[in-house]
Amino acid sequence: MTKPTPDSNEQSKAKVTTFKLLVDCTINNGWLSDIEHRPSPHFTSREPAQDVSLLVVHNISLPPGKFGGPYITDLFLGKLDPRQDSYFEEIYQLRVSAHCLIRRNGQVIQYVSFDDKAWHAGVSDFNGREKCNDFSIGIELEGTDTEPYTEEQYQQLVCLVQKLQESYPLIVHNHLVGHCDIAPGRKTDPGEAFNWPYFKALLNKGIIDGTN
């Protein structure tokens, strides 16, 4: 399998701390243990009958193409300051969220319990079923459609999927999709930069132990 090539933007940055893989984490009452929790007000309770059966991969960067900083969290918490960047004037009133964000260095932040609906999918359809927020988990990768994602992000995403599949076994491998797949023509993320074959190959290995 071919590993993604780091982009020059990443290579030029000073070395940053990478976060421990999620292999030892557990999910309790919909929350991952041993990571940062920033509870968002942007969620809806999930009906018991709406079984979680889909995982949607997104990307986000704020301002667009810029990595680091508090702005993604600020957006999901409804606290984005429009004075910080002209782009924020267009989006600061949006009421959106995701269940988790995986940052470039592998840090994972959780905003919404997996047992609740995050507001990440919008108008969407999967296999003829609309309103994907009802039955999906949304994971944001800090990135853009065109810049390669980092090895740390792939590793953490695989670990996260493994943990989720333990608690939500209806999230089978063919129920792992991009936002572009459930909202074609409206959304393009995670974009051409996301290496689906590499991600699936890692996932099919079965275990990420932090040594590879």
Task: Give the predicted TM-score (pTM) of the model.
Answer: 0.90
- Which residues make beta-bridge pairs with 31? 28
pLDDT for position 203: 95
| Domain-embedded: residue 127 | yes
SS3 142: strand
- pLDDT digits (tens), the chain, 212 positions: 556 655 434 433 433 456 889 989 999 999 999 999 999 999 999 987 679 999 999 999 999 999 999 999 999 999 999 999 999 999 999 999 999 999 999 999 999 999 999 999 999 999 999 999 999 999 999 999 999 999 999 999 999 999 999 999 999 999 999 999 999 999 999 999 999 999 999 999 875 544 33
Active site residue 140: yes
| Domain-embedded: residue 85 | yes
| Domain-embedded: residue 15 | no
- CB-CB contact of 120 with 182 (8 Å): no
| List of residues 6+ apart from 54 with CB closer than 8 A | 126, 132, 135, 136, 137, 171, 175, 177, 182
pLDDT for position 2: 59
> What's the CATH number where 73 sits?
3.40.80.10
Q: Catalytic: which of 89, 140, 151, 166?
A: 140
Number of C-beta neighbours around residue 170 at 10 A: 11
- CB-CB contact of 137 with 99 (8 Å): yes
Give the Å distances, CA to CA, from 62 to 13, 113, 165.
17, 23, 30
- Which domain, by its residues, includes 125? 32-205
Provide the total of helices (H) and of strands (E) in the chain, helices listed first.
6, 12
| Domain-embedded: residue 9 | no
Count of domains in the chain?
A: 1
| Domain-embedded: residue 63 | yes
- The residue type found at 57 is V
| Domain-embedded: residue 148 | yes
Identify the sign of the CA torsion 54, 42, 120, 142: negative
| Domain-embedded: residue 27 | no
pLDDT for position 205: 87
| Domain-embedded: residue 22 | no
pLDDT for position 20: 86
